[in-house]
């Protein structure tokens, strides 16, 4: 696989938060002459606590290059993106970010890159690529932002919502352990004075709560982060799982390459029931719903109902996979299913003229 092209994209005007802002992206190209026909450009967005390297790191049993290498070896242009508030993108104060602002930044990033690809100005050696199919895939919080971007801006020709529920995202704990309870925060309220709808459930909860970093760190030190069961399948390498969960609890420095030191607080909005219901219901492009057999989507087979305007919806539940899909031994099966879906979206666009 070629080395990625590392770029920053100015999204200041698009997000309008009163400060300069940029997103950081890595563009992975197929080998010379290996571009798929019809052409596909896939933008990939990571989840909370992770950065764009989630899509290019590899597990010890891999061939190198992770998911990015898988898709570029099959002819796609693959663009891994840090959202605002993540990784190497601008990290604004939390009170300047919400789901709509981050989605606007991602939309501006996509349109900038697609224009440069179409005009042949992205990089030397890549001629103009006209009318490429533009896909957006997002894992976890990245899936949330992909839904919001599509609902607000019609950014993509197809979206892959990976490990995020358009109905209600719920992070399960290991069976036999107290259930995690997350605050249901209204998107109509500001994070400085959040309107929380499930205060009674939070007060009665015996399980872990989002934001209780001391409790999460104590659990991680004692042997298992409360979210480990849902994030990582049991057959994954113990040292990699421990590294990822210790990073999640803020117990190690430096962070592993796939981790972001920051996650914006607006992620609280995404775990409320119906958090993106309107955006999801308005999406008309093809939708791919991809989850692990152990994930944060309580009923995968109900998910198509969230996308009421989409006439093309596909669902895949990957075996032996938990929420952090690209760590699983079965990740290649997952990537193959995404790739087959994306090729289908491109083929249908070509038939439609």
> What's residue 14's pLDDT?
98
Hunting for tokens 């005007």 — which residue is that?
A: 13
C-alpha 203 chain-centroid distance? 30
Residue 204 burial (10 A CB sphere; 0-12, 13-18, 19+): exposed
> What's residue 172's pLDDT?
93
> What's residue 210's pLDDT?
66
pLDDT in tens, 70-100: 999 999 999 999 999 999 999 999 999 999 9
Where in the sequence is the domain holding 122, given as residue range(s)? 5-170+260-352
Q: Is residue 255 part of a domain?
A: no
pLDDT in tens, 266-298: 999 999 999 999 999 999 999 999 999 999 999
Residue 180 pLDDT > 90: no
295 is written with which tokens?
A: 């994930």
127 is written with which tokens?
A: 């001629």
Who wins on pLDDT, 249 or 128?
A: 128
Query: What percentage of the chain has pLDDT greater than the value 90?
Result: 87
Residue 219 pLDDT > 80: no
Whether the model clears a pTM of 0.85, i.e. scores above it, the answer is: yes
Residue 223 pLDDT > 70: no
Q: Is residue 17 part of a domain?
A: yes
Rg over alpha carbons for the chain, rounded to the nearest Å, is 19
Residue 195 pLDDT > 90: yes
Q: What mean pLDDT, rounded, does the chain reach? A: 95
135 is written with which tokens?
A: 């896909």
Residue 209 pLDDT > 80: no
Q: Sorting pLDDT into bands at 50, 70 and 90, what band is 58?
A: very high
pLDDT in tens, 259-273: 999 999 999 999 999
Region 12-22 average pLDDT: 98
Q: Is residue 231 part of a domain?
A: no
Region 152-158 average pLDDT: 98
Q: Is residue 175 part of a domain?
A: no
Instruction: Say if residues 318 and 293 touch (Cβ distance below 8 Å).
Output: yes
Sheet holding 158-162, edge to edge: 5-10, 22-28, 77-81, 40-45, 133-139, 158-162, 287-292, 313-318
Q: Is residue 242 part of a domain?
A: no
Residue 207 pLDDT > 80: no
Query: What percentage of the chain has pLDDT greater than the value 70?
Result: 99
> What's residue 24's pLDDT?
98
Who wins on pLDDT, 62 or 26?
A: 26
Region 156-161 average pLDDT: 98
Q: Is residue 38 part of a domain?
A: yes
What DSSP string describes 280-332? HHH--S-EEEEEESSSS-S-GGGGGGG-TT-S-EEEEEETT--SSGGGSTTHH
Residue 249 pLDDT > 90: no
CA–CA separation, 121 and 130 (whole Å): 12
Domain count, the chain: 1
Q: Is residue 183 part of a domain?
A: no
Residue 179 pLDDT > 90: no
182 is written with which tokens?
A: 């997350």
> What's residue 211's pLDDT?
62
Q: Is residue 338 part of a domain?
A: yes
């Amino acid at each position: 696989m070629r080395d990625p092209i590392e770029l920053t994209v100015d999204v200041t005007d698009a997000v309008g938060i009163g400060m300069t802002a940029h997103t950081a992206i890595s563009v992975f190209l197929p080998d010379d002459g290996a571009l798929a026909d019809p052409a596909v450009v896939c933008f990939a967005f990571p989840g909370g606590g992770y950065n764009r390297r989630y899509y290019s790191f590899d597990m010890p049993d891999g061939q190198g290059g992770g998911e990015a290498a898988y898709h570029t070896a099959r002819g796609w242009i693959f663009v891994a993106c840090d959202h605002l508030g993540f990784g190497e993108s601008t990290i604004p104060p939390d009170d300047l970010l919400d789901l709509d602002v981050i989605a606007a930044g991602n939309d501006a990033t996509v349109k900038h890159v697609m224009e440069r690809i179409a005009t042949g100005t992205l990089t030397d050696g890549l001629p103009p690529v006209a009318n490429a199919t533009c896909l957006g895939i997002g894992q976890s919080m990245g899936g949330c932002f992909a839904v919001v971007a599509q609902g607000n801006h019609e950014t993509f020709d197809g979206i892959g919502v990976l490990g995020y529920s358009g109905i209600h995202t719920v992070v399960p704990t290991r069976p036999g352990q107290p259930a995690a309870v997350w605050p249901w925060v209204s998107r109509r309220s500001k994070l400085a004075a959040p309107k929380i709808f499930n205060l009674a459930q939070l007060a009665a909860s015996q399980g872990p709560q989002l934001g209780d970093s001391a409790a999460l760190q104590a659990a991680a030190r004692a042997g298992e982060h409360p979210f480990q069961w849902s994030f990582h399948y049991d057959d994954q390498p113990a040292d990699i799982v421990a590294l990822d969960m210790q990073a999640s609890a803020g117990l190690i420095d430096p962070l592993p390459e796939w981790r972001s030191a920051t996650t914006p607080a607006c992620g609280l909005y995404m775990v409320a029931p119906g958090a993106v219901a309107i955006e999801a219901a308005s999406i008309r492009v093809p939708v791919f719903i991809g989850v692990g057999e152990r994930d944060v989507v309580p009923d995968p087979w109900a998910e198509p109902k969230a996308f009421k305007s989409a006439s093309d919806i596909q669902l895949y539940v990957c075996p032996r996979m938990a929420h952090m899909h690209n760590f699983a031994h079965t990740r290649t099966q997952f990537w193959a299913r995404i790739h087959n879906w994306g090729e289908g979206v491109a083929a249908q666009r070509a038939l439609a003229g």
